[in-house]
Amino acid sequence: MGSTSKKSMNSKTNDGRDRLSELPDDILVHILSFLPILDVVRTVVIRRLDNLWTLLPSLNFKDTENWPSGKIDYRGRLRHIASLMRNVLMFHKRVSIDKFLLHFYDIDVLGDESLITDIRLWIRFAIDRDVKELDVEFVFIDSDSTLPRCIFTSRFLVKLKLVSCVIGQLSRVQMRSLKKLSLEYVKVEKEVLNKIICGCPSLQVLALADIYGLKELRFSVPNIEKLSITVESDLLLDCPNLKILNIIFYSKPRLQVVDVSSLCKVCIRSSEIIHEVDKLLKRFCNVEVIELDGKGFQLSKFQEQDFSQTRWKRLRIESQLKRDHLLSVCTVLRSSPHLEELIIYNNSRKDLSSLLLV
């Protein structure tokens, strides 16, 4: 009986049928969406797949994935990727797009007006197709002419990520559906950034990294719940309705906290020692969860009489701990009567138990 069943199974798996081709179109399109765009287009030579690539819900263009094989000069590469994108967008048939990704890391866009014009057209194509997620990343852009203004009036964008771009003056910002905004290495004036924040009534998550010239961040809109920010220079923070704050410190900047009275969770990561981390933590005494990663906790020494009583329920520390740091932890514990969970990860070579020995 078992032998017959096994033979039956073998006949089903070795009958020569192309089971992939038997899948419905929507499943095949979903599978194609995981391939580099150049490979997807090449599937046109397969009879079953035919023109299914023209129905892709996501269009991902990465210059690092779409170089032709063999030696070719830079201008030849540029013509190749530009031609590929023009043809893909020309034949694409889907009415709406879920995601449009454009990464130029090997191609220098700076000063190439023809390419900048093409990029604007490609982004506008995505906006006209009611794209829900837009991800545009360059190596470096020093002109605000690259990004079309229609991005900031899209009714359908839910996620927007811009890397190494310049956002110029905007007469109007109205992104009613945007829930997550991520800006990295972006040049944008304070007034324009505030206009963007206020023009996104559904925005819940804001991520800012290396924003040129950003010295203060103030917003009181009730919808933004989470802020992730990289701090490389002195920064003033005034966000009274914020719920979650993730901070990454580079170098040794000072963070001036004005009002974060609604915070529930704070995560502080640092690649450098924060000498006044004790003063910084006092600004977050009323949060429920606090996490410290990296070198930020390494030299902190709290004086019991100066450390305010906290409302922390969960404290997580990951750092290179020494014996005097454990004494500092004890000081924190005595000031944290509501603490329910304490997690300590020791990154130093010494075993944590050896630090506890007198």
Per-residue pLDDT reduced to its tens digit, 180-191 = 999 999 999 999
Cα–Cα distance measured from residue 337 to residue 323, given in angstroms and rounded to the nearest whole number: 23
Q: Which amino acid is at 151?
A: I
What does the block give as tokens for 60? 């991902």
Cα–Cα distance measured from residue 149 to residue 8, given in angstroms and rounded to the nearest whole number: 62
Domain range list for the chain: 21-214, 221-358
Cα–Cα distance measured from residue 161 to residue 182, given in angstroms and rounded to the nearest whole number: 5
Per-residue confidence (pLDDT) for residue 234, from 0 to 100: 87
- Write the burial class of residue 51 (CB in 10 Å: 0-12 exposed, 13-18 middle, 19+ buried): exposed
Cα–Cα distance measured from residue 40 to residue 55, given in angstroms and rounded to the nearest whole number: 11
Cα–Cα distance measured from residue 121 to residue 112, given in angstroms and rounded to the nearest whole number: 14
Beta strand 99-104 pairing with 187-188: unpaired
Per-residue confidence (pLDDT) for residue 12, from 0 to 100: 44
Segments of the chain scoring below 50 in pLDDT: 1-13, 70-71, 355-358
CB atoms within 10 A of CB 218: 14
Per-residue confidence (pLDDT) for residue 66, from 0 to 100: 60
Pick from 327, 282, 329: nearest CA to 309: 282
Per-residue confidence (pLDDT) for residue 242, from 0 to 100: 96
Cα–Cα distance measured from residue 310 to residue 324, given in angstroms and rounded to the nearest whole number: 21
Cα–Cα distance measured from residue 251 to residue 7, given in angstroms and rounded to the nearest whole number: 67
Per-residue pLDDT reduced to its tens digit, 1-41 = 444 444 443 434 456 667 777 888 889 888 888 888 888 88
Per-residue confidence (pLDDT) for residue 190, from 0 to 100: 92
Cα–Cα distance measured from residue 161 to residue 102, given in angstroms and rounded to the nearest whole number: 10
Strands lying side by side in the sheet with 159-163:
58-62, 99-104, 133-138, 159-163, 180-184, 205-209, 226-231, 244-249, 265-270, 289-294, 314-319, 341-346
Q: What are the CB-based long-range contacts (under 8 Å, 24+) for 214-222?
A: 214/190, 215/190, 216/190, 218/194, 218/258, 219/194, 221/197
Per-residue confidence (pLDDT) for residue 17, from 0 to 100: 67
Q: Say if pTM beats, i.e. exceeds, 0.75.
A: yes
Per-residue confidence (pLDDT) for residue 300, from 0 to 100: 54
Beta strand 205-209 pairing with 244-249: unpaired
CB atoms within 10 A of CB 296: 25
